Amino acid sequence: MPSLKNQKHEAFAQAVALGMPASQAYAEHVSGGKCSYETGKTEGKALAKHVSDRIAELKAEVSESAKKKFGLTKEKWLDRLEGIAGKAEKVGDFSAATGALREVGKASAWYAPEEVKHSGSVEIPGLSEAIAATFGRK
């Protein structure tokens, strides 16, 4: 996929692919710092969805580049993080140990939100009556 035609969107996609939060990337690369935090959050999420294919492609390029340049694969990276955590624990640097382990967890998608699906109705006994008694309506 070639670069996006809209240069601001391309800069946004590159920033997100390199790990910048979409809200920050939107504020910096699309609005030029002239948007509220809420606008950056909302519009950044929407734009990330719109250009998700480009972001995925750029992430793959970055990953391949790191692999070629450093011989670094995800497995090697996780092994190194585990080693860092172990060494940090041995010297009593628990902040560094938990930081390394947190990165392992993120890379392993342990922090991904769990999707909960609900089917059926949710009924709260007495709710209609309480609303009617309080507000005089159902």
- Whether residue 101 is found in the same domain as residue 48: no
Residues in the chain: 138
User: How far apart are alpha carbons 102 and 85 in whole angstroms?
Assistant: 10
| Structural domains of the chain, count | 2
Per cent of the chain over pLDDT 90 is 45
Residues 43-62 pLDDT 10s: 999 999 999 999 999 998 88
138 within a domain of the structure (yes/no): no
- Whether residue 4 is found in the same domain as residue 62: yes
- Whether residue 24 is found in the same domain as residue 64: yes
- Whether residue 1 is found in the same domain as residue 66: yes
121 within a domain of the structure (yes/no): no
Whole-number pLDDT of residue 137:
61
- Whether residue 94 is found in the same domain as residue 42: no
- Whether residue 39 is found in the same domain as residue 3: yes
- Whether residue 62 is found in the same domain as residue 106: no
20 within a domain of the structure (yes/no): yes
- Whether residue 8 is found in the same domain as residue 62: yes
Q: Tell me the torsion sign for CA atoms 22, 28, 34, 36.
A: positive
Confidence of residue 16 (pLDDT cuts 50, 70, 90): very high
Residues 94-123 pLDDT 10s: 999 999 988 888 877 776 666 777 777 777
CA atoms within 13 A on the CB side of 99: 7
Rounded CA Rg of the chain: 23
User: How far apart are alpha carbons 15 and 87 in whole angstroms?
Assistant: 32
| Alpha-carbon distance values, 19 to 27, 36, 114, 126 (Å) | 15, 21, 22, 48
- Whether residue 65 is found in the same domain as residue 8: yes
130 within a domain of the structure (yes/no): no
Q: Which residue range forms the structural domain that includes residue 93?
A: 73-112
- Whether residue 38 is found in the same domain as residue 82: no
- Whether residue 10 is found in the same domain as residue 61: yes
